[in-house]
Structure 1
Amino acid sequence: MDTLLSPVAWLLALVQAAFYVALGPFIAGWIRKVKAILQNRHGAPVLQPYRELYKLLGKEARVAHSASPVFRVAPYVVFVAIWLAAATVPLIATGLPTAMLADLIVLVGLLALARFFLALAGMDVGTAFGGMGASREMLVAALAEPAMLLGVFTLAMTAHSTNLSSMVELHLAGPPVLRPSFLFAFGALVLVAIAETGRIPVDNPATHLELTMVHEAMILEYSGRHLALMEWAAQVKLVLYGALIANLFFPWGIAREIAPAALAIGIIAILMKLLALGAVLAVAETVLAKMRLFRVPALLNLSVLLAVLGLLGHVILEVGR
């Protein structure tokens, strides 16, 4: 407990939270670069998202006359909520002071809060695009959240806790074991991550076509620093789900003690995992096409089915062994 409450541990927790914010644009730029290479294009530099955010932060935010205070407050609430949600997910080390708050229910609640204000902001101005994007976002969320909860509950039943840090510690404590329930949960969480982060085939973050966009439709009226916060929050959310998948199912390398060598290995390990996941996502977005909106529920129903199979697999094959 003394180590958990030490000033060094709190400082490391703050550094880990800041690492999410700093790493978000880099991972987004890495995915763009890999996609460009796969499509025989030169593409923008990996650091281009940082330049875009810097340019937007320096511009004046223009707000529509019909906008309420919710429209002005929403970018800050969305960014802070997603940042706090990311801070609960172990990234570099476990056993930090934030581990006490690293609960699955807290994570889902903070993400739901960010989604709620994002949808309100989309509908606030009264444009057709904003309302359309908000309704589509709620459709995706209504199917993605149960799949995420059921998928991670499979790991929680094994660890006998909904604490994310405890789940990671469970994997590291014993020898590697191939559990069928974890395979189903992994598939469900991957599909949920694709839907929640607005990636192909559910959504295309690089398009502004009114018949296909979901996330972009809700932030179409934003500009300047407000748009920068919305874009930055989406990039942090991408790293959040990447870290969640990487450290829940492949936690090897994460630091279990506050030591320079262990922390260095933890930083290198998570960077390699995120770069690998980003490359896989870029390949998938290159070979897959954007599906029609009416087919998205079928994809998310598949994620729910995989999560349920994971729970049943745990109960049938692992409980009582």
Structure 2
Amino acid sequence: MSALGIVGGVLQPVVVVAASPVLVGVMRQVRAKLEGRAGAGIGQPWRDLRKLFRKERIAPRGTSEVFRFAPLVLVTTTLVVAVVAPFATTDSAMVAVADLFAVVALLALGTVALALAGLDTGTAFGGMGASREMTIIALVEPTLLVAIFALSVRVGSTNLTSIVTSTLYDPARVISPVSLLAAVALIVVIVAETGRLPVDNPSTHLELTMVHEAMILEYAGPDLALVELASAMRLTVFLGLLANLFLPWGIATSAAPVAILVGVLAWVAKVAVLGSVLAAGEVFLAKLRLFRVPELLAGSFLLALLAVAASFFLA
């Protein structure tokens, strides 16, 4: 564990926790401006979280510890990814956990915990949302693995820090067919994993369209605040991975204070731009009908497979 890795392991989760609600606020504000509305301001998500944390914790009758601990699992797994992934620095605080398979497993664990909590409530909405979420994750997780694996083939390692460092010192790889195919597949994965349009609509409570929201309808107070915070953190983590796997410039390669500051600012700027572009795109998209979502995800998996094939033939 290097000094650079320790600094990144301390700074990155702090930035993720502090900036994730702001990112959601920025994205909502971008949508509001494009739709001709004033918007509530970029600080509104933090104000909502503060209000929820002050409320009383309430759990539905008959629920078990699965329901109570799911928000903590969701937050914890995301925090671990924020600690180990190369966002602001090229070194990791825990190199072994910065592996592709470990990171994907951690992100999937949080999703599964929330789906189990939806089932634990015993409500029709919770079961429906959990069923839909499991259908999506069954298609999304293989795509995420294969897309990033395509980048790891030419590096010879599935460690995310090695992939980012390799791209940093060989910029020509960014415009290769492997990177372009993997990037498109990963964008679709991020949209599905974070519940954005056209896969899901985070602002709706309509029965026929809910996926993520259906699983958390029974949460209230601090538990709901943790779920909302974790959702924002996961969005930041996924956009950070997308930014640094394909555009790692600005990331700190030394423990010098100036390099660390530039790395954090570059990471925040890239995530903010990607989030704004995602929000702007949502204005012009409609939600897909549920039975069409697997077709979209299957298409992204095919692109990821093509990226892997291209990584062998074009290496």
In the superposition, the TM-score normalised over structure 1's length comes to: 0.95
Maintained 8 Å contact 1:144/1:196 = yes
Maintained 8 Å contact 1:59/1:225 = yes
Q: Distance in 1 between matches of 2:117 and 2:250?
A: 40
Partner of residue 291, structure 1: 288
Query: Is the counterpart of residue 20 in structure 1 residue 16 in structure 2?
Result: yes
Q: Distance in 2 between matches of 1:151 and 1:52?
A: 35
Partner of residue 104, structure 2: 108
Q: Runs in 1 of length 4+ with deviation above 3 angstroms?
A: none
Matched residue SS, 2:314: helix
Query: Is the counterpart of residue 279 in structure 1 residue 273 in structure 2?
Result: no
For residue 96 of structure 1, report the CA deviation from its aligned partner.
Answer: 3.5
Partner of residue 89, structure 1: 85
Q: Structure 2 regions of 5+ residues with no counterpart? A: none
Of 208, 211, 214, the match for 2:208: 211
Maintained 8 Å contact 2:139/2:297 = yes
Query: Is the counterpart of residue 161 in structure 1 residue 147 in structure 2?
Result: no
Deviations along 1:162-199, one digit per CA (max 9) or x if unpaired, are 11011010011234332101110000000000000000
For residue 215 of structure 1, report the CA deviation from its aligned partner.
Answer: 0.4
Deviations along 1:287-315, one digit per CA (max 9) or x if unpaired, are 00011100000000011010011011111
Partner of residue 126, structure 1: 122
Of 286, 299, 304, the match for 1:302: 299
Matches within 5 A, 1:1-321: 4=2, 6=3, 9-177=5-173, 178-318=175-315
Q: What letter matches 1:168 in structure 2? A: V
Mean Cα displacement is larger for which, 85-94 or 157-166?
Answer: 85-94
Matched residue SS, 1:227: helix
For residue 99 of structure 1, report the CA deviation from its aligned partner.
Answer: 3.4
Q: Distance in 2 between matches of 1:175 and 1:314?
A: 16
Deviations along 1:178-233, one digit per CA (max 9) or x if unpaired, are 21011100000000000000000000000111110100000000000000000111
Deviations along 1:122-141, one digit per CA (max 9) or x if unpaired, are 01111000000000000000
Q: Distance in 1 between matches of 2:229 and 2:67?
A: 17
Q: Distance in 2 between matches of 1:207 and 1:310?
A: 35
Q: Distance in 2 between matches of 1:49 and 1:89?
A: 25
Q: Distance in 2 between matches of 1:157 and 1:315?
A: 7
For residue 265 of structure 1, report the CA deviation from its aligned partner.
Answer: 1.3
Q: Distance in 1 between matches of 2:208 and 2:216?
A: 15
Maintained 8 Å contact 2:155/2:166 = yes
Please report the RMSD computed on the Cα atoms of aligned residues, expressed in angstroms.
1.2
Matched residue SS, 1:63: coil
Matched residue SS, 1:301: helix
Q: What letter matches 1:219 in structure 2? A: I
Q: Distance in 2 between matches of 1:175 and 1:73?
A: 43
Q: Distance in 2 between matches of 1:141 and 1:259?
A: 40
For residue 85 of structure 1, report the CA deviation from its aligned partner.
Answer: 2.2
Matched residue SS, 1:176: helix
Matched residue SS, 1:67: coil
Q: Distance in 1 between matches of 2:74 and 2:285?
A: 29
**Distance verdict in 2 for CA 1:103–1:9, change over 3 Å:** closer
For residue 286 of structure 1, report the CA deviation from its aligned partner.
Answer: 0.1
Mean Cα displacement is larger for which, 122-131 or 83-92?
Answer: 83-92
